[in-house]
Structure 1
Amino acid sequence: MISIIIPVLNEADTISRLLTHLIENSSSKNISEIIVVDGGSTDGTLGILRPVRLQKPDRSEVNSNQSKGLDCARPDIKLLSSDKGRAKQMNLGAKHATGSILYFLHADSFPPKDFDQFIVNEVQKGNQAGCFRMQFDSNHWWLRLASWLTQFSWRASRGGDQSQFITKTLFNDIGGYNENYIIYEDNILINELYARNEFTVINKKLTTSARLYRKHGVWKLQYHFWTIYVKKWFGASADELLAYYKKYVC
């Protein structure tokens, strides 16, 4: 069984659509629960989530959820509150997960149809961790090229937007996400998985938002992401990476 863990912070524009997408594109036989971990949203995210997290909604709640486009024949949706920081949020979600497979997903990333079965198939083959290939919701030629490159197993092509599945046993053995990293936490875990030769890429497309590229401009944001990657390569600390991110990206 899979526990889907979604860290959120001010995701009112996407979270309802994502939950509907997950329910409509998976089988309840594979999903233990969907755990949404909020890091202090102030935009109405909690107002969307609270009505849909009950295990057995009454008739009025069913009608309310249907009006939001949410299918009530769904796995349990749990809402947790956490300190801000994706690493902290995802670790808290993992702590409360009942599934033997953890699937970490960003709130603006939409996995392919039957994603749950693809993940189960990989674990049954002995692959304890991995991700999907990715495509941006943009036709910009560079983002299309970057998306195309994610089908390959190269370490440089990895990122948290591609989502991350990992067995709970392996996740606990690694020690979870490093909470010292406010940014780059996904890559720290991925580095550890590559070091253990425990990573596979499922050749099915997950679609993720290019909203940050649209906000800052493709080349400007890509330059800053490359700079962060190189800084980490040369030994920059978690605080140094965060300071750079806050100065140029936030």
Structure 2
Amino acid sequence: MFISIIIPTYNEAEHIANLILQLQKNNSKDYEILVVDAGSLDDTQNIAKKSGVQVLESPVKGRSKQMNFAAKHSKGDVLYFVHADTLPPLSFFEDIKQSIAEGFQIGCFRFKFNSDKTMLKLNSYFTRFDRLMCRGGDQSLFITRKLFDELNGYCEQHKVMEDYDIIIRARKKYAFKIIPKNVLVSARKYDYNSYLKVNIANLTAFMMFYAKADHDRIIKVYKKLLNHEKSELKY
């Protein structure tokens, strides 16, 4: 098994080095790391290149489009999509390999925030449950190339919440694995907004997505509910 780790970025200089270092600590050599950047205005690309990973410049901006672009340029028979502000467990390779051996073609990890705040621990607790509302791109996502191709990748019409869409489509035919280990997720949006405001915004965005609302409308409402600085739905 060979895993292609795909990291979509836009202005992630603050986080990208830590993520790459975390991934490179794994002892397996059967993986590649691809950073697919959408024209960052900061030092994201230079930092990634100095870390020795492959950097792709996406011709279009948008996470779903960037990830599809990187998938086409990757060589793994398993794809692992990770957000730049997420740190997978050191055992990520073995955990994914074991899940594939168990017959799963798609899955994610649980998550916990890099914060000791009690209410954020509550949010983290719910990611162990197999419910769509408890999912999200921050948990990272592994998927076999076979299934990814069968689904025609991420739907590029989705400007946000593309992870929910691909999970919904995959689960129509295949079981979904929640690996009982945590990725560490940045709590940065809570630095600019209250716990209540963030969760109301998240729930509103999810309900609008489930109701098939226009994606631009979801983004507009989400941004209106939160302080804009580092708290918006990611490009």
TM-score by length of structure 1 reads 0.86
Deviation for aligned residue 1:21:
0.7
Match of 1:197 in 2: 174
Alignment of structure 1 residues 203-242 onto 2, 5 Å: 203-242=180-219
Cα distance in 2, alignment partners of residues 246 and 85 from structure 1? 17
Question: Residues 65 and 154 of structure 2 are in contact (CA less than 8 Å); yes or no, is this contact kept in structure 1?
Answer: yes
Cα distance in 2, alignment partners of residues 106 and 183 from structure 1? 13
Identity percentage of aligned residues: 40
Q: Where does structure 1 differ by over 4 angstroms across 4 or more consecutive aligned residues?
A: none
Deviation for aligned residue 1:219:
1.2
Q: Which amino acid aligns with 2:43?
A: G
* Superimposed CA distance per residue, residues 107-136 of structure 1 (whole angstroms, 9 cap, x where no aligned partner): 011111211011011111110000011101
Match of 1:45 in 2: 44
Deviation for aligned residue 1:208:
0.6
Deviation for aligned residue 1:225:
0.9
Alignment of structure 1 residues 125-136 onto 2, 5 Å: 125-136=102-113
TM-score by length of structure 2 reads 0.91
Question: Residues 138 and 185 of structure 2 are in contact (CA less than 8 Å); yes or no, is this contact kept in structure 1?
Answer: yes
Question: Residues 5 and 34 of structure 1 are in contact (CA less than 8 Å); yes or no, is this contact kept in structure 2?
Answer: yes
Question: Residues 30 and 117 of structure 1 are in contact (CA less than 8 Å); yes or no, is this contact kept in structure 2?
Answer: no
In the alignment of these two chains, the number of paired residues is 225
Deviation for aligned residue 1:244:
2.2
* Superimposed CA distance per residue, residues 17-58 of structure 1 (whole angstroms, 9 cap, x where no aligned partner): 11111111x233331x100000111111122123333xxxxx
Cα distance in 1, alignment partners of residues 146 and 15 from structure 2? 31
For structure 2, the residue ranges without an aligned partner over 5 or more in a row are 227-231
Match of 1:14 in 2: 15
Match of 2:57 in 1: 81
* Superimposed CA distance per residue, residues 43-98 of structure 1 (whole angstroms, 9 cap, x where no aligned partner): 11122123333xxxxxxxxxxxxxxxxxxxxxxx2100112111111111111110
Larger Rg: 1
What's the RMSD between the two structures over aligned residues? 1.4
Cα distance in 2, alignment partners of residues 210 and 235 from structure 1? 27
Cα distance in 2, alignment partners of residues 216 and 194 from structure 1? 33
Question: Residues 137 and 208 of structure 1 are in contact (CA less than 8 Å); yes or no, is this contact kept in structure 2?
Answer: yes
Match of 2:6 in 1: 5
Q: Which amino acid aligns with 1:39?
A: A
For structure 1, the residue ranges without an aligned partner over 5 or more in a row are 54-76
1:52 to 1:181, Cα distance in 2 relative to 1, 3 A:
same
